[in-house]
Structure 1
């Protein structure tokens, strides 16, 4: 018997999902019937139909548009990105402050955010800065589906890139400590934006750290820096305020290191887990590469008190990175005396039980850093950095 083929249209089969209960989503589907001599059972939209006689097999064709609708609806439901300004976020314990333009989030230092001494790591602090910045944009109602990008930025294929970051750490919070992180934005020149942070104790108000950063826009397709479109300026400028977390921002240029640097780590390769949603290496990973170049013995006895980063270019998945670090030897003793008893000054090493001679074995207090991509002909700078350190104060052996 010759096979029989024809196309038929049928009314849509209604399912139990909320989407299908919407009459606007109903549509006609085409089905092809191939005549065969065998009996078959076919599943159609969650239902089962058996046929005999011609032994027809029904093949349901789901439209591509319907599939994309399902996917987008699920993503929107999971993210639930606000389309209007929100004042309180109970899930993130965040709220809008500073006359409706600043943001404050309450966080707890978790076990995986601390090191062996039970204090928060620098990476954890930097991650807090990034997370609260994104949550600030989230609550503003301006967030599109990009990595902190507004609706106007997405229309123009623009993303944010950081050009400079400075963080000052007075002391480090400990495991389980409850913090308040405040963040806000302001103008930086004609085409840039400044974002600042203050991290303080929720219980006492003691300030642990302050940060400031400068951001510009880059075209996501050409990877070139872009001017700020007026549409985007209109979105973000109402959120600008003038106060600064670090009033006296020292903008001293960071010198470029060469292969004569004292400490060098080569053949650093980005992993997939190092990439962010913009498909380049995350800023926090850069800091990790920098600090890993400093000798372990130094890190065991010192803690970072400030870091300044100047970003030159992005780093991708296939790049091979070299980390250079050079100590500033003339900073051995500067800023390490503790004043007690009517202004009398004693080296801090006496107070931590290392004796009078301990102060002459302090080591450098500042380092200059460079991350660069190793090229066949020349190297390309990724980021320059400067770090300032202080000795870890252990238990004082006597009372004052």
Structure 2
């Protein structure tokens, strides 16, 4: 797709929060927060000529490797939120993208994401085959107070759930969508922590893709300050999530 006339290097999109996206408390679900961030990033890529459709001409797609989200407050049902996004770095096969969410001009969430170019036939990373010099980069404009990091998976972890990947877990890249991992883990968290908004930030590391009918085990390690989940397939780590508590 040619570069859109609406393209700008810093992009903003508004969404009205509907009831299907909300918890019983009326607040936006953490998974839906990530969905809105992901959709905004996808729209910006589309306007800039590096969307999934553009990249599929070369059997390529963007896949998420790491993500950090810092939250001041969750939006409520019927709130109109504005999500802003821009790119910090974009070179070779990797990109760091920043995102922020606002309500009534007040920032309520910041997010830093690390993406890799992935060949959807060879199932491995490779160099981006599309022009991208028209994107202005903002390496010093950060959306989060802290950068993402490698999550420490404690060997003392406890096995808490087993799951088989089903069709509804998959996305257009034909692997488990990043938000699905978060959903699986959030379903195992004490509901009081979620409903009382005791999660001040969370971080995700994606290490190996999961496919249809893969059998996985979800592990948990709990401390006073955080909850760490890890997902393994055949005893190999595929995903890690760290919830940092208030």
Q: For 1:268 and 1:279, locate their aligned partners in 2 and report how far apart those are by CA, in whole Å.
A: 18
- Is the CA contact (8 Å cut-off) linking 2:64 and 2:116 kept in structure 1? yes
Query: Aligned ranges for residues 34-73 of structure 1 at < 5 Å?
Result: none
Q: For 1:189 and 1:305, locate their aligned partners in 2 and report how far apart those are by CA, in whole Å.
A: 31
Deviation of residue 178 (structure 1)?
A: 0.8
Partner residue in 2 for 1:282 = 177
For the pair shown, which has the larger CA radius of gyration, 1 or 2? 1
Size of the aligned set, in residue pairs, is 245
Which secondary structure state, in structure 1, belongs to the residue aligned with residue 68 of structure 2?
strand
- Bigger proportion of residues as helix: 1
Q: For 2:230 and 2:99, locate their aligned partners in 1 and report how far apart those are by CA, in whole Å.
A: 25
Partner residue in 2 for 1:102 = 10
Q: For 2:169 and 2:114, locate their aligned partners in 1 and report how far apart those are by CA, in whole Å.
A: 22
- Is the CA contact (8 Å cut-off) linking 1:210 and 1:246 kept in structure 2? yes
Q: Decide which moves more: 153-162 or 170-179.
A: 153-162
Matched, 1:178 2:80: yes
Which of 1 and 2 has higher RCO (CA within 8 Å, sep 6+)? 2
| Aligned partner (choices 234, 243, 246) of residue 387 of structure 1 | 243
Which secondary structure state, in structure 1, belongs to the residue aligned with residue 198 of structure 2?
strand
Q: For 1:150 and 1:186, locate their aligned partners in 2 and report how far apart those are by CA, in whole Å.
A: 23
Partner residue in 2 for 1:271 = 166
Query: Aligned ranges for residues 1-400 of structure 1 at < 5 Å?
Result: 83-87=2-6, 96=7, 100-140=8-48, 142-143=49-50, 148-149=51-52, 151=54, 153-187=55-89, 190-201=92-103, 203=104, 205-226=105-126, 228-229=127-128, 231-232=129-130, 235-242=131-138, 243-246=140-143, 248-258=145-155, 260-262=156-158, 264-328=159-223, 364-373=224-233, 375=234, 379-390=235-246
Q: Output the aligned Cα RMSD.
A: 2.1
Q: For 1:166 and 1:109, locate their aligned partners in 2 and report how far apart those are by CA, in whole Å.
A: 22
Ranges in structure 2 where 5+ consecutive residues have no aligned partner: none
TM-score by length of 1: 0.57
- Is the CA contact (8 Å cut-off) linking 2:99 and 2:143 kept in structure 1? no
Q: Decide which moves more: 249-258 or 161-170.
A: 249-258
Q: For 2:177 and 2:132, locate their aligned partners in 1 and report how far apart those are by CA, in whole Å.
A: 24
Q: For 1:190 and 1:217, locate their aligned partners in 2 and report how far apart those are by CA, in whole Å.
A: 9
Change in 2 beyond 3 A, CA 1:247/1:110: closer
Deviation of residue 365 (structure 1)?
A: 2.6
Q: For 1:221 and 1:180, locate their aligned partners in 2 and report how far apart those are by CA, in whole Å.
A: 35
Q: For 1:162 and 1:222, locate their aligned partners in 2 and report how far apart those are by CA, in whole Å.
A: 17
Q: For 2:64 and 2:165, locate their aligned partners in 1 and report how far apart those are by CA, in whole Å.
A: 19
Deviation of residue 138 (structure 1)?
A: 2.2
Change in 2 beyond 3 A, CA 1:190/1:219: closer
Which secondary structure state, in structure 2, belongs to the residue aligned with residue 277 of structure 1?
coil
Q: For 1:251 and 1:126, locate their aligned partners in 2 and report how far apart those are by CA, in whole Å.
A: 16
- Is the CA contact (8 Å cut-off) linking 1:169 and 1:209 kept in structure 2? yes
Change in 2 beyond 3 A, CA 1:304/1:298: closer
Deviation of residue 295 (structure 1)?
A: 3.3
- Is the CA contact (8 Å cut-off) linking 1:183 and 1:196 kept in structure 2? yes
Deviation of residue 252 (structure 1)?
A: 4.0
Q: For 2:79 and 2:145, locate their aligned partners in 1 and report how far apart those are by CA, in whole Å.
A: 29
Which secondary structure state, in structure 1, belongs to the residue aligned with residue 133 of structure 2?
helix
